[in-house]
Structure 1
Amino acid sequence: MSATLRVIFGVDDASKLILPNGIPNSIEDLKGEIVRHFGLSGNFRLQYRDIDFDNEFVNLTDTSEIKDKSTVKVINLPDETITLTLTNVTQEEDDFLLSSASDTDILSSAESTSSGTSLRSQPWPTNFEIPPFSYEVQIQLEKAKQAFCSSGTLLTTSNKLRSDILDGLAAEIIKYKVYPSSTELDNVAQALITKYPFLKEKGSVTGFYGWKISLKYKMANYRTRLRSIGCPELSINAVKEKQGATSHGPNQVKKPRKAEVNYCPDYPAGETKESLEEERKALILEVKKKNNQQLIKSKMERTFAYRRQEVVKDMPFIAEFKNRWPALFSESQVNAEFTLITTVPLFSTFMSRLDHYSSQLLRVFKKKGGTARRDIDVIIAEMDKNPSVEVRRTCILKALCVYLNEKPDSLIKEYWATEDIGIDAMTEMERLALGVYIVRHDGADASDPPEDVGVVIEGCTVLRDLREVANGCAVLFGLIYCLNLSYPKELRYTFEFLQKVFMELDGNKLSTKVQVLKNKLHE
C-alpha cells in the first residue's frame, strides 16, 4: 500500500514524497528513497514529530514510528573525517586525502564555495534594492529630498552627479548579471525614482525612461572596463576571442540565456589554469576509487569555474568532455552543478513542481480538442493501468509535449529488445541528438517498470540506470545547463515550460504559447 510523507529540508522548504510500496522497513532504505527522489548528497539524519513530546521533532530511529501522512525533517550532518572511509591506501595517498578533506569543510559552507567570491549567490532580485551611493552623492540627494518635501521641486542633475549615480547602479547590477535585459533595466530605473522621487524626469511618460537609456549605455561602458581587466564572463566576447573562434559567428555574444546566475565565473583565488588542470587529472583518479564521494564533490566544486570556462569557450564534443570530466556524469553531481549555475536545486524542485502541477495539467489537458486530445487520451490511459507515481509523471511529461504541439517521441525514445538493445536500436540511439531513452524487454507492458532509463546527447549515452522517466528528464534538463546546450527546436516550448514554469527560472518572460498554458493552470 502506498504512503505519502511530508519532507522538510529547511525554513519554507518542504516537499511531498510518494512511496508507492509503502514506508520502507529500515531507516537506510527510507533515506535512500529521499536521496533518489530529491537528489540529495552528503550525510544527514531524519527526525519526526513525536506525539509524546507535543509533536516536537526527535530523531527517527525506526520507521515503525512514522505512518502515512507523517512529517519527517532532513538534518544535514557535518562531513565525517574522510580517513574513516578509506582503506588500503598508501601513506602518500592518505596525506593527500587528509589535506583535501580539510579543504572540504571550508568549501561546503554557504558563504564560501570552492570558487570563493567569484560565484554569485542569488539570481536577479524580485525587488531591486538601490545601493547606498558615495558620501558626496548622498549629501546632494539629501538636500534635493528636503527641497522636494518642502516645495515639490524636482532635481536637475549635473553631468557629474548623474554619472556617479549610474556608476553606483552599474556596480550593483553587476553583482547579479553583466547583461541585464530591457525589463531588468526598467526595474532598476523605476526603483531609483521610487526611492528618490525627486529624480523623476518631467518629459518622460514613465518618469524614468531617460535613466533607463543612460543606464543601458553605462552598462556597456562598464562591461568594456571589466573586459579590459580580464573578467572571463566578458573576455569571451572580446574581438580577439571571436576572431579565433571557428564554431560560432563573430557577432554571436556568449552570455546567459536561460537564467544562469554563474555563467562563466573567474577562477578561485590563488588558482590558475595550470593548477586546476592538475586538480582535474587528480579527479579522474579519484573517480576510480570507492567511498570517496565527498572528496570528489569538493574537487568538483574547486574546478567548477575551470569547467564552465571550458564548456562556454571551447564548446567541446560531449564524448570528449565526458572523458575529461567523468565525475560530472552522475545524478548527484548534475544536481550540484545545476545548483551552482542557477542557485536552484534541480531534483527536489523539478519533482515537487511536477507533482504540484499534475492535477492542474490534467484538468487543462482534458479541455484540449482535436487530434491532440486523442493522443493525450491514449497517453493518460496508461495511468489507469498503473496508477504509480512514476507512470503518472511520465504520462504528464508526454502529454505536456502533445499539448504544446510537440512530439513526445522527440523527448522520450522507447526501445524494445528480447535480451539487450538491438543493433537497430543502438544505431538509432547513436543518431539521437538529445533525449531520454527507455529500454523494455519484449512482451513487457508499457506501464511496467522499464529495464533501463538513460540520457543520450550527441549520440553518446551519458547516463544510465536512472530508474524512471521523470528522473531522466530532470537529468537531461540539468545537463543542458551543465553543458551549455541550446534547447532543440522541436522541443523548445516543452523545455521553456520546464524552465520558466516548473523551475521558475526567468519566469517573467514567456512565449505566447507557454503564457497561455500558464494562465490556464491558474484559472
Structure 2
Amino acid sequence: MVFMMGSHEKMLLRVILCEGDIRKIALAKKPDSIDDLVVSLKEILNVDFKFSLQYEDQDFDNALCNLTDISALKDRTTVKIIPVLELTPVDVVEPLNNSTSTEDAEILSTSPQGRQKHWPNEFVVPSFSVDVEYRLQQGKLKYLNDGTFLKPSKDLKHQILEKLAETIFAFKAYPDDQDYEQVASALVKQHPCLLESCSRTGWGGWKNSLKFKMGNYRTKMRKFGVPDVTVNAGKRGANNPEGEPSRKNIKKPKKCELNFLPNYPEGHDDASLESARKVLEEEMKKRTPSASVLSQKMDLTFALRRKEMVMSAPAITDVLDRWPSLFREAQVILFLFC
C-alpha cells in the first residue's frame, strides 16, 4: 500500500541566517504556504525583521533560487534567509515662493553648504544594516546568558567600523583622541558583547581600529573631491616621499567651527562662483548697494570664499580688494554671532 505524504508530516530544514550562523530547524508539519513558513521561522529564530527566502534547488546542483512556491520545498532542504530593507518615502517640500520684494531689506542667510552639526555631547551609535544588527543582537543575548563576548568576524568588524566612520565624518573629518574614546565607549555600552576582555577599558582596540578606519575613510572621501580632506592632499607618502609629513600642518576646523571647507552649491563651479563674486564687486561700487543682492551673492559664494581663505591664507588687503562686501557691518555681525 502506498501512502501519500501529507502536510501534517514533520519537516527538517537547514536554515542559513548569516555567515557563521547556520541552524537545523524542525517543523511540526510542512507549512501550507510560504507566509506560514516565514511566520514559523520568525517565531523559532526569534527575529522580527522582514525577509524573503531562497532554497537550494537540486535541479541546478543545489544553487540558490528564490522560494516562490511552497511545493518546491522538500524535507531536509537548505533555506537561506534574505533580509529585506524597507525604505520609508519622504514627502517632498515645495520651495517657498521668493517673489516677495526684498530689494532694500538686509537679508542675512545662515545656511551655507556643508556640515550643520557640532560634535554631540553624547555620541549616539548609529543603526547598522539588518544583518549586522541581527548578529549583534544574537551576540548580546549570548553575552547576557553566559557572559561570552562576541568575537566579530573580519566582515562584521569592517561593516561596524565603516558605519561609525561615516557617522563621525558627518560631524568632523579629523576627530581628536577624546572623540575616538567617546565613540568606542558608546559602541561597547550599547553592544556589550563587543567588550574586549584583554583591554583595560574594554574598548581600546576599537578606538585604535577607528583611527585607522577614519584614515582610510578620509582617503576615500579625498578621491571624491570632498574639500576639507582634499585640502590636506599631497602630504608625504609612497607617491610623494619628499612631501610634508602627513601629521604636520593639517588644515582642519577650530573648536566649534562649522563649514570649514563646504562643498560648492549644487550646479556651481569655480567659474560660476567667480562670476557671482564679480557681481558683488560691481554692486559695491554703487552709491547705494542693494542689500538683497549682496546677501544673496555672499551666501552663494561662501564656499569659494572659504576655499581662498584656507588654501591661500591671503593678506587682509587682498581680501578687502576681492571681497569688499565682507567688511560691511551686516556681514561682520553675521560672522561674529551666527
**Do they fold alike, i.e. is TM over 0.5?**
yes
* Post-superposition offset of 1:114: 4.6
8 Å Cα contact 1:237-1:253 kept in structure 2? yes
Q: Which residue of 2 aligns with 1:154?
A: 149
Q: How does 1:251-266 map to 2 (within 5 A)?
A: 251-266=248-263
Q: What is the match of residue 318 of structure 1? A: 316
1:275 Cα deviation after fit: 0.1
Match of 2:219 in 1: 224
1:81 equivalent among 83, 86, 100: 100
User: Could you say what secondary structure the match of 1:223 adopts?
Assistant: helix
Residue 139 (structure 1) aligned to one of 134, 140, 143: 134
Letter in 2 for 1:82: S
Task: Tell me the percent identity.
Answer: 40
Q: In 2, Cα distance between the equivalents of 1:151 and 1:208?
A: 20
Mapped partners of 1:275, 1:83: distance in 2? 24
AA in 1 matched with 2:302: F
SS at match of 1:154: coil
The answer to whether the 8 A contact 2:112-2:259 is kept is no
Counterpart among 156, 162, 170 of residue 167 in structure 1: 162
RMSD over equivalenced CA pairs, Å: 3.0
Q: Distance in 1 between matches of 2:153 and 2:270?
A: 45
For 1:396-428, what per-residue CA distance to the aligned partner results, in whole angstroms no more than 9, with x for missing partners? xxxxxxxxxxxxxxxxxxxxxxxxxxxxxxxxx
How far residue 291 of structure 1 moved from its aligned partner, in angstroms, is: 6.1
How do residues 62-77 of structure 1 correspond to structure 2 at under 5 angstroms? Answer: none
Q: Distance between the aligned counterparts of 2:235 and 2:216, measured in 1?
A: 18
Question: In the aligned structure 1, how far is the partner of 2:236 from the partner of 2:187?
Answer: 36
Distance 1:81 1:269 in 2: 24
What secondary structure does 1:188 align onto?
Answer: helix
Partner of 2:194: 199
Tell me the residue number matched to 1:283.
280
> Whole-Å Cα distance in 2 between the matches of residues 268 and 241 of structure 1?
31
- Supply the distance in 2 between the matched residues of 1:85 and 1:261 (Cα, whole angstroms): 29
Distance in 2 of aligned mates of 1:257 and 1:195: 30
| Alpha-carbon offset, residue 336 of structure 1 | 2.3
Match of 1:273 among 266, 270, 273: 270
Task: Give the SS at the match of 1:82.
Answer: coil
Question: What is the distance in 1 between the residues matched to 2:245 and 2:131?
Answer: 45
The superposition leaves residues 25-62 of structure 1 with CA deviations (integer Å, 9 ceiling, x where unpaired) of xxxxxxxxxxxxxxxxxxxxxxxxxxxxxxxxxxxxxx
CA contact (8 A) 1:85 1:291 kept: no
Does structure 1 conserve the Cα–Cα contact (< 8 Å) formed by 2:103 and 2:292?
A: no
- 1:309 aligned residue: 307
Q: How far apart in 2 are the matches of 1:84 and 1:307? A: 24
Deviations 1:228-247 (A, max 9, x none): 2211111111118999xxxx
Contact 1:235–1:241 under 8 Å retained in 2: no
User: What's the secondary structure of 1:175's corresponding residue?
Assistant: helix
Aligned 1:111-510 pairs, distance under 5 A: 113-115=111-113, 119-239=114-234, 251-289=248-286, 290=288, 292-338=290-336, 345=337
Amino acid at match of 1:336: L
CA shift in 2, pair 1:240/1:126, >3 Å: closer
Offset of 1:82 from its aligned partner?
A: 3.2
The alpha-carbon distance between structure 1 residues 83 and 146, as it changes in their structure 2 partners (threshold 3 A), is: closer
C-alpha spacing 1:314/1:80, structure 2 compared with 1 (3 Å): same
Indicate conservation of the 8 Å contact 1:120/1:176, yes or no.
Answer: yes
- Give CA-to-partner distance per residue, 1:205-259, whole Å, 9 cap, x none: 111110000000000111111112211111111118999xxxx998422122343
Instruction: Deviation per CA, 1:54-108: give whole Å up to 9, x if none.
Output: xxxxxxxxxxxxxxxxxxxxxxxx999336649xxxxxxxxxxxxxx9xx8xx95
1:240/1:181 Cα in 2 relative to 1: closer, same or farther (>3 Å)? closer
SS at match of 1:174: helix
Would the aligned equivalents of 2:103 and 2:290 in 1 still touch at CA under 8 Å?
no
- Tell me, yes or no, if the aligned pair for 2:161 and 2:210 is still in contact at 8 Å: yes
Does structure 2 retain, via aligned residues, the 8 Å contact 1:155–1:198? yes
In the TM superposition, residue 332 of structure 1 has moved relative to its aligned partner by 2.2
Q: TM-score, normalised by structure 1?
A: 0.42
Q: Partners of 2:335 and 2:187 in 1: how far apart? A: 35
Higher relative contact order (CA 8 A, sep 6+): 2
CA distance in 2 between counterparts of 1:121 and 1:257 reads 15
Contact kept in structure 1, 2:112 and 2:303, CA below 8 Å: no
CA contact (8 A) 2:181 2:207 kept: yes
- How far the C-alpha of 1:322 sits from its partner, in A, is 0.8
Distance in 1 (alpha carbons) for counterparts of 2:181 and 2:268:
38
* Contact 1:114/1:298, CA 8 A, preserved across alignment: no
Q: Are the structure 2 counterparts of residues 249 and 158 from structure 1 closer, same or farther at C-alpha, using a change threshold of 3 Å?
A: closer
> Partners in 2 of 1:296 and 1:235 — Cα distance?
29
Deviation sequence 1:138-188 (CA, Å, 0-9, x none): 111111122122222211111111111000000000001000000000011
Q: Which has the higher helix share?
A: 1
Q: Match for 2:268: what amino acid?
A: E
Question: Counterparts of 1:249 and 1:209 in 2: how far apart (Å)?
Answer: 26
Deviation at 1:287, TM superposition (A): 2.4
- Aligned 8 A contact 2:103 2:293 in 1: no
Counterpart contact for 2:126–2:163, Cα < 8 Å = yes
Aligned residue pair count? 236
Taking structure 2 as the reference length, what is the TM-score of the superposition? 0.64
